[in-house]
Amino acid sequence: MPTTKFVGQPVRLTDPQWPISAAWDRPMRFVGQIELGPVLGAAGHGKMAYVFVTHADHEEDFFDPDIIDPDGGENAVIVQPGGDAGAMPARCAHW
């Protein structure tokens, strides 16, 4: 069973999903995954939240102001399996 971790590559529970930046039309950067059982109790048992954000590769001075807007299309949380953390990102690719 996958566990909470940050950076690296996600360890998926079900079909892979990777959100695409609305403004930049490229895959978002994986930030981390959070095991939801310890956070939500029985409601989160066996579920994982995957956190993604838009970020330019190797550009330290890059800042996209849309990442502060939760509905701006530049960050995403995907809950697996069968979870819902709000609307599923409109644009996802397979990882």
- pLDDT of 13 reads 85
* pLDDT exceeds cutoff 90 at 4: yes
- pLDDT of 74 reads 85
Q: Is 22 exposed, middle or buried (0-12, 13-18, 19+ CB in 10 A)?
A: middle
- pLDDT of 91 reads 55
pLDDT by residue (tens digit) across 13-68?
A: 888 888 998 888 888 989 999 999 998 999 899 999 999 988 766 566 666 666 67
- pLDDT of 15 reads 80
* pLDDT exceeds cutoff 70 at 95: no
User: Taking Cα atoms as reference points, which of 69, 65, 85, 66 lies closest to residue 77?
Assistant: 85
The span from the CA of 95 to the CA of 77, in Å, is 15
Lowest mean pLDDT among 12-16, 73-77, 83-87: 83-87
